[in-house]
Structure 1
Amino acid sequence: MKVFNQSYLAITICTALSINNVALAADETSTDKQKIEKITVTGSQIKGVDLEGMQPLIILDAEAIRKSGASSVSELMKQLGQTRGGEGSFSTSESGATSTSTPAGQAAASLRGLGPSSTLTLINGRRIAASSFASGTQNFVDINTIPLAAIEKIEVLATGASAIYGADAVAGVINYILKKDYKGAELNTSYGNSFNASDNGKVNINFVVGTEIGGGNLTAFVDYFDRSAFSAQDRAFTKDPLLESAYSYLPKNTPNIYYYSARTGNEIGNPNCKTDFVTTEYGEEICAYYRNEDDMLNSELSSSSAGFVFTKDIGDITWNTDFFYSHSNSVAISSPAPINQLDDSDGPWVDETALNAFSDEVRDDLLDQMYIDPFDTIAGRELWGFQFDARFASPRTVEVTTDAIRFVSELSGSLGEWDWDSAVTLSKSESEQQAIAGIYNRYKYHAALAGELCSSGEIANYDGTSGNLACNSGELLAMYNPFLEGNTANNAILEQTQEVPTRDGESTVYGWDARISGELFELNDEFVSAAFGMDVRKESITDTPSLNSQARAENGYLVDVFGFGSSLSEAERLQWGAFSEFYVPLNDQLELQLAGRYDNYDDFGDSFNPKVGISYRPLEELILRASWSTSFRAPSLTQAGVKLRTTTATYDCGANQSVADLYCEGFGDQRSPNVLELGNANLQAEESEALSLGFAFSPTVDTTLTVDYWSFEHEKLVDTDMTRVLSDAISDASLRHCGLVPNGQVGISYEEDLCLVTDSSGLTIEDSGANLGEILNEWVAFDSPRYAELPLYRDHIIQLENTGKQTVSGIDLAFVHYISLTDGEISLNIDATHYIEFDRNKAGSEEIEQLIGTWRYPQDIASAKVAWSTGAFYSSVTLNYTSSYSDDTDGLNGRQIAELSDLGLINEENQRDVEAWTTVRLNLGYDFENMNVNLTINNMFDENPPVAYGSSRGFDSINHDALGANYRASLTYFF
């Protein structure tokens, strides 16, 4: 990069100046000065200089954490306005059992809705290893591995900070600061649950002790947390679907007859359906499935952790070591897997004798409506039968175990008036996943359907001459009948087809850093201070699924099991960086912060990021502040190292009319086909430019008002772009493939028979210059498909790339006022965030869409708290507010839109709003001499989340919560 020589020169000069000044300061050391610990605040590395007022820093101290009522770090962080709004932060409410789901039991905090990978997570100012299981391809720090009992305070800097900390601080930094130098001991126990009849209990027990030992202070802690599962079936408003039309054609193990096997061309409902038939848009009466039946709103989770912080003075040097270990278990559930043909297309085949599961009268009636056709079995026989539509009865269920350790050993001291510290860091996260239910082998299952499965699990050999089936080992099992229910022998055959895929991941960070800070020279009766430092870091990540859940080219990209893909990735990188930071008091009123950092990565290259911050105090009660900086996010190791990831990719027909006409019958809805995703070693770093302007006004010692404007210009976002690939394929024949995409190539996979039709020039879809509109018309005439669109096949291969940009801006407001009474004190706290814009280019388009006010992007987020304390008693009432925004009706299909219209729930543009939501939290506590009791009631008035028809859950689980009124009671005893 062009900035390399300039930045390298600047760093060299700054380092030389610091060494020279350290030597001078060392000669002038005064031994009669009392030693006072100098601290730094997040956003600066200069010790002893108060830069807190120069930047919008949010601090949650020990008292705020204790009174929050939170049982875990993820619960606590959801209370901050800066982490709410948009789709960035997530919790275990988004967990699932598939490769595209959030890893079970894990959670991440994201600032400004920019995503967890754009928020740098620190512990005591240093990095922590990311989860080895990415959320999609975004690596993130699982904040559920950070024990709440060990945290003294949390500092949140919600603006770009790469000039100080390097990569990933695009939206800012969250710094978890651990307890140290603790004296005494405390035992805390808490229990929480909803007021509903269902058991959604949470238990938390932690113990902290601090003592003098070995000439130093040891602060040690243990923490245990257990939470019961929370199902959609636990609440009346999530138990049943909001719309009858929000169904899947694939019922749970009570198959419908596939429409290709019906003489009318319409699906035939299963006569033994356990629920009422639904009427489809084609007038069919079918047995259907609703996701609510198996939706897990919060996964079962248990975690335990232990650790210590040890501090000791060794002469003039202080040795500080912190260590913690955490272990967690979680179970995640996703809807039962669809049952497909062997090649993963719709409508598996079964022998006609499967109809014997019904009475003779019902069987004969079905045969009058059906075709019985020949089909080839997995062993090579030809049978006569029909196709069916179904999913398995058991939900896909996985269990995830995660072990995380973090070890940091630091030496610090002073050289004259200069303070220095240096540390080594080791952080590791290991996760193991195992499918424990609902996963079935496609080959064994199809063999079972044809009566070709052996009791040993092998597929029988077929002798075409004799017409006999034989097993190498074991006995030949009877045919599995998917229409026969409640039969023990039949169910035992299905059990023979189950699989237990596993997945192992490891993420590590090894690092060394050194920093020094102090005073450079005097200016206007004040001192110019500076900090300099460098660090070296090696990161690695592996994510290795078992072979039976991997898509492999030699196997036609078919995963051995149904509905359960995986991500195979492996990458490592070495990084080094150096920074300089200066505090310049220009006069009594004007202060300046200058910083710059250079980072070099051995994979994607280098980056230089500056920062300028300024504060002006025209009055003692008023401070004006501003900062400008650039930041970057290195492509995650998963994004760089994905070998082949089985997932889905959404394409937006509303973003590109040509794509809509060819693939969506002209509609503007969204589709999510199965794809194979490749990493990209040539990815560039995401880049961001941040601006912050604000003021803090304290007219009295009891009143403070802060207002800050902030903005981010975020470019080169890393993602896949299925819409753009489909759009490019219209003119680029190299992206169009009949059948599977050849190994080593990328592009779109179409049904193989599509190449049987041509445009008016005789060109197939694979030929350059082909007219895709004409080919679509010819295909409709040739095949008479149910949907007049180009037939996509499966396993489109697309690559991660730097796809687009986004602009985000808003205003934060915080107001605090204290009123002293003769019998206590009242305080009023108001925190609010107003989003001005959240603009992002549409996938596959240069068109900019405005997200503020759309689905999951509320414009206003606020909380207001009134607290009263008197003597040992304290209490508070907090109102949490999330403004209204549009429902995701654009993502609904035609039958859902029609039902909403018939019910009068949408306007003429097919739009509706998700209502604003306000909940109330009550906190009561009392401090005895050696004990504290605390009660928190969340959502005190049991407000249901606003209805959202665009979500299959019926509500927005990112911005709202379905738990309802719930409480947490805690008792802390101090020894």
Structure 2
Amino acid sequence: MKFNRLAKLVSLASSGIVALSAPSYAVESNEESVERIEVTGSRLKRVDMEGASPVTTITAEELAKSGFATVGDALRSSNLNAFGSWGGGSNNGWGSQATVQLKGASAFHTLTLLDGKRMAKSPVMDGGAANINTIPMAAVERIEILTDGASAIYGTDAIAGVVNIILKKDFEGVQLDARMDRPTQEGGDSSNLSFTGGLNSDKGHLVFTFEHYESQKILQKDRWYTQPFVQEGGDPSDYQDWVNISPTGRVLTQGGAGGWVYSTPFSNSDKSCADVYGDAFIGSLDDSDYPGDTLCAYDYTQAAATSVGQTRNNTLLHYTYELSDSIELTARAYWAANETQDVSAPVPASISIPNGLPAYTTAEGLDLVELVADPNAGMNFRFDTAGDRVAEHHDNIFDYLLALDGTTDFMDWDIAVNYNKYDNYTWGTGYQLKGATTDLVGEWDDESNSFVGWDPRDPNSEMPAGATANYDKRMSASYLDISGGAAFELFELPGGDANMYIGGSYREESLDSKVSALAEAGQIVGGNGGSGGEGERDVMAAYFEFAMPVMDNLELNLAGRYDDYSDFGGTFNPQVSVRYNIIEPLLIRASWGTGFRAPTLSDLYQGTSEGFGYMKNYLNCYDQGESIDNCDRWDYGPTRTGGNVDLKPEESESYNLGIVWDITESVNVSVDYWSLETTNLIDSLGASEIIKTQAKLWEAADAAGVARPDVSTVYPGTEISRLGNGKIDYVVSQKLNVGLSEREGIDVKVGAGFESEFGDFKFGLGWSYFLKYKSSYSEAGVQVISDDEAGREDTPAHRVNLTADYLLGDHSISYYGNFIGSQESWDVIEGSWDPDAGETADDGTLYEIDSVMYHNLTYTYTLPWSNSFSLGVTNLTDEEPKFDYNGTYEGNLYDIRGRTYWAGFRQSF
């Protein structure tokens, strides 16, 4: 087949890194036959790289030049990852995970592919997203990022876009890579070693890659901003003026008989909490919010980690073989094994001591304060005597692909079978068995006139065994996908042949996510990340693409896909796109489509779990004739949550309008406006919202003189149980389709490159600007659209990547910049408004979180023996996170490793 010759530029700079795929357009020629290629966002092979939907390409070379050691770090620094994403922080169930979130949407709205096939979903994230920590840098040939909805092509999850990791297939020879990273601050050291080998024959090609990566954890005490400190101008004796400490250290909590006072467990004026209980304890402190209360606070940063320690091993085997002149076999096997150590401070817990504790002086001279007997009497106790909480996460992924691609005189066809399985096991130690400590507390013995057994107030009284417990989890997700289709020419149009692809797929999914029985029953204190439930389903899909070159410079594309799920039904999603070359170097493109995200198996089938917390008792306020809106009655109780088999898919509608211009042969620019609206977002409601909605329903019904409706008529599946005195017994919540969001933005890419007698230069810019970001929240049963949050706290309106490369002979220098824009806080600066002048807080000045610019530099020297040596520094200026009004920061956005020097070596044979 002969096709028009494509005139296109090579990518000039990295985006997203800022990798710029240069525009391409048709040029008259009848003499050359150009190979068709498949680009992310279409199953039809084409001769043009720049299509009707924006695709950013990041090559392996550009990944290396950016200075990042892992694929996850590189993707999360991209301007396209606008609001940042999870990178594997500590003290949570997601410690081993990392995600990418295009357009600031949920990680569940970005589809991640390996060579165009779905990457294994992580059961740790309830089977809703891929863990990009499992991708070996050494195996990557390039990454293609589609920033357009693509459910018409790929089905579920492609609401905000697609990240397609293209693996190495044509490598020949042997290559060894080694790298060491050393931050100038404590913690975060990392190193990786990889081996890549490739063999060619007349009929086949084999590529093998192995990579080993290690990183050390960063403790909270290793950074000043996560250490305890007193706010500027604050009172060091007041707990409320401290940052990064916990009130759960050693505190007696008197019940009603004791006047509800909180107090330090001892009264010796010459002793501090550190003198009695150890260096991690602070005080005794007062509490200005509750005058008269005192406490021993706890410095949890001495033990808790901010980031986890990890060891990763990844192996990839990719084989292609020509069965005949027209049929090619592809076989791929991928294995990843990650071990992650997540260290948290000892459990903060509460001990119920209804019998109270007497006042007496210990043999060591410690004067213990009385705890008055009362059903609500107890003690807030940090179980440092039981050691730190340590969760060891073990992730194992197996991914197998077997595919056939063929060509006949009238069509190209393909069929593939892909199976992947993701297993996670977590072994957690140092947790507490709920309620067990109450039975361990001793009592006063009148006969011996002494305290017998364990006294939690006394540091010299040893806690007996029986209070500690493990928090163990086992999770597994598997996917079997069989797909195939055919592409063929239909008829001839003025611009060329109209082409069509018709395909179908069958997919089986399963999720089995369980925690230990005691944890499932809510009997383990200090754990996190509960059961995701278990379930299975199958999905059948049929899809098509239709490309019509209406004229030489105008192409219309139609696509559609119908997915039928065994557990909630079917959904059809169309897409229309067009590309038009006004003149040869100037391209206009536009697209419209709908998308969806199917409820995860966990969303549907998660078992009931119970979590305790405070909830506002609006019903009690209404019963007492008080205003519902001004209610200030709080209860403490359980909320029971679980899956919902009646969930519908989340839905989206997206638009894209862009222009691509080759200004000269060495300078190009693209500007794309996009809009994304999502509805039916799946979320769980808080207990207070459910209670308030019920109170409002009662109020309206009583005013109308009709029967009081139940809250389940507004929020299906919810329930409120009350005790005889009006207190909340428990609340039942479940996942519902209750949210929506509206987003608009502009993505700009600029690339330039030129050669000179002084060397070769390349420059790139990637800028993502949010025009609008609104989301909904529930208020008394009504969905309320928020104000525009673009540019507000944690949602920066501006993200920019800059790149510059200089090459002279065997020497190259690369620069990578990552800019995160300033954000306006929701907090009004204290003292910025004058009440004496009649001003209110609305007249005050909002606090602004500063912008930040990270700088990476890389120098590479190519040696004459097929090897090279690289030196680099990331975060050259040692930028720290930018802090909100309360002194905390958004971990998804900012770097905590600080300035990091690294050295790398590559040897090829």
Q: TM bucket by the smaller chain?
A: 0.7 to 0.9
Deviations 1:753-810 (A, max 9, x none): xx33xxxxxxxx5xxxxxxxxxxxxxxxxxxxxxxxxx656x5320100012100110
Contact 2:331 / 2:402 at 8 angstroms: preserved in 1? yes
Are 1:396 and 2:396 matched, yes or no? no
TM-score (norm 1): 0.79
Are 1:152 and 2:116 matched, yes or no? no
Residue aligning to 2:769: 834
Shift in Å, 1:717 = 0.1
Contact 1:549 / 1:565 at 8 angstroms: preserved in 2? no
Contact 1:253 / 1:392 at 8 angstroms: preserved in 2? no
Q: 1:671 to 1:865 in 2, by over 3 A?
A: farther
Contact 1:322 / 1:407 at 8 angstroms: preserved in 2? yes
Inter-partner Cα distance in structure 1 for 2:243 and 2:799:
35
| Equivalent of 1:217 in 205, 223, 234 | 205
Residue aligning to 2:218: 230
Residue aligning to 1:584: 548
Shift in Å, 1:496 = 3.2
Contact 1:915 / 1:946 at 8 angstroms: preserved in 2? yes
Aligned runs of 1:390-469 on 2, under 5 Å?
Answer: 390-393=381-384, 394-437=387-430, 439-450=431-442
Contact 2:327 / 2:405 at 8 angstroms: preserved in 1? yes
Residue aligning to 2:480: 510
User: Which residue identity lines up with residue 198 of structure 2 in the other structure?
Assistant: G
Q: 1:138 to 1:719 in 2, by over 3 A?
A: farther
Are 1:182 and 2:171 matched, yes or no? yes
- Identity of counterpart residues, as a percentage? 24
Inter-partner Cα distance in structure 1 for 2:627 and 2:610:
25
| Equivalent of 2:661 in 694, 697, 700 | 697
Inter-partner Cα distance in structure 2 for 1:251 and 1:111:
35
User: Which residue identity lines up with residue 228 of structure 2 in the other structure?
Assistant: D
Shift in Å, 1:486 = 4.9
User: Which residue identity lines up with residue 848 of structure 1 in the other structure?
Assistant: I
Residue aligning to 2:907: 973
Deviations 1:146-201 (A, max 9, x none): 222111111000110001111110001110111012101100000102112x2321
Deviations 1:919-967 (A, max 9, x none): 211121122231122222111011222122446xx22211112221112
Residue aligning to 1:480: 454
User: Which residue identity lines up with residue 114 of structure 1 in the other structure?
Assistant: A
Name the SS for the 2:432 alignment partner. coil
Are 1:200 and 2:188 matched, yes or no? yes
Deviations 1:304-329 (A, max 9, x none): 01120001001131011111111111
Residue aligning to 1:796: 731
Contact 1:935 / 1:968 at 8 angstroms: preserved in 2? yes
Q: 1:118 to 1:480 in 2, by over 3 A?
A: same
Residue aligning to 2:58: 60
Aligned runs of 1:311-330 on 2, under 5 Å?
Answer: 311-315=320-324, 316-330=326-340
Aligned residues: 824
Select the structure that is richer in helix.
1
Q: Aligned-residue CA RMSD in angstroms? A: 3.5
Are 1:926 and 2:861 matched, yes or no? yes
Shift in Å, 1:352 = 1.9
Inter-partner Cα distance in structure 2 for 1:448 and 1:635:
45
Q: 1:792 to 1:640 in 2, by over 3 A?
A: same
Inter-partner Cα distance in structure 2 for 1:260 and 1:374:
6
User: Which residue identity lines up with residue 642 of structure 1 in the other structure?
Assistant: Q
Aligned runs of 1:797-816 on 2, under 5 Å?
Answer: 797-816=732-751
User: Which residue identity lines up with residue 313 of structure 2 in the other structure?
Assistant: S
Name the SS for the 2:51 alignment partner. helix
Residue aligning to 2:313: 304
Inter-partner Cα distance in structure 1 for 2:284 and 2:510:
52
Comparing 115-124 and 236-245, the one that deviates more? 236-245
Inter-partner Cα distance in structure 2 for 1:597 and 1:440:
50
Inter-partner Cα distance in structure 2 for 1:431 and 1:593:
42
Inter-partner Cα distance in structure 1 for 2:636 and 2:401:
44
Aligned runs of 1:357-396 on 2, under 5 Å?
Answer: 357=362, 362-363=367-368, 366-367=369-370, 372-373=372-373, 386-393=377-384, 394-396=387-389
Are 1:945 and 2:909 matched, yes or no? no
Aligned runs of 1:611-650 on 2, under 5 Å?
Answer: 611-647=575-611
Inter-partner Cα distance in structure 2 for 1:645 and 1:736:
23
Contact 1:720 / 1:801 at 8 angstroms: preserved in 2? yes
Residue aligning to 1:727: 692
| Equivalent of 1:91 in 81, 87, 90 | 87
Residue aligning to 2:107: 116
Q: 1:76 to 1:219 in 2, by over 3 A?
A: same
User: Which residue identity lines up with residue 878 of structure 2 in the other structure?
Assistant: D
Q: 1:360 to 1:70 in 2, by over 3 A?
A: closer
Are 1:352 and 2:347 matched, yes or no? no
Inter-partner Cα distance in structure 1 for 2:96 and 2:37:
35
Comparing 728-737 and 159-168, the one that deviates more? 728-737
User: Which residue identity lines up with residue 962 of structure 1 in the other structure?
Assistant: I
Unpaired runs of 5+ residues, structure 1, are 1-32, 342-346, 376-384, 453-466, 468-476, 552-557, 738-743, 757-764, 766-790, 891-895
Are 1:864 and 2:829 matched, yes or no? no
Contact 2:304 / 2:344 at 8 angstroms: preserved in 1? yes
Deviations 1:11-46 (A, max 9, x none): xxxxxxxxxxxxxxxxxxxxxx99986420000000
Residue aligning to 2:130: 141
Inter-partner Cα distance in structure 1 for 2:736 and 2:794:
25
Inter-partner Cα distance in structure 2 for 1:410 and 1:431:
28
Inter-partner Cα distance in structure 2 for 1:397 and 1:899:
45
User: Which residue identity lines up with residue 132 of structure 1 in the other structure?
Assistant: P
Comparing 800-809 and 281-290, the one that deviates more? 281-290
Inter-partner Cα distance in structure 2 for 1:882 and 1:684:
36
Contact 2:833 / 2:843 at 8 angstroms: preserved in 1? no
Shift in Å, 1:80 = 1.1
Deviations 1:600-621 (A, max 9, x none): 1111111111111111111111
| Equivalent of 1:260 in 255, 260, 263 | 255
Name the SS for the 1:159 alignment partner. coil
Shift in Å, 1:676 = 2.4
User: Which residue identity lines up with residue 925 of structure 1 in the other structure?
Assistant: T
Contact 1:543 / 1:567 at 8 angstroms: preserved in 2? yes
Deviations 1:900-919 (A, max 9, x none): 999xxx99658412111112
Q: 1:735 to 1:948 in 2, by over 3 A?
A: farther
Deviations 1:706-751 (A, max 9, x none): 00000101000000122541332214579999xxxxxx9743456x
Inter-partner Cα distance in structure 2 for 1:942 and 1:249:
22
Contact 1:349 / 1:388 at 8 angstroms: preserved in 2? no
Name the SS for the 2:273 alignment partner. coil
Are 1:846 and 2:783 matched, yes or no? yes
Shift in Å, 1:862 = 0.6
Shift in Å, 1:413 = 1.0
Select the structure that is richer in strand.
2
Deviations 1:851-881 (A, max 9, x none): 2122210111112222211112111223221
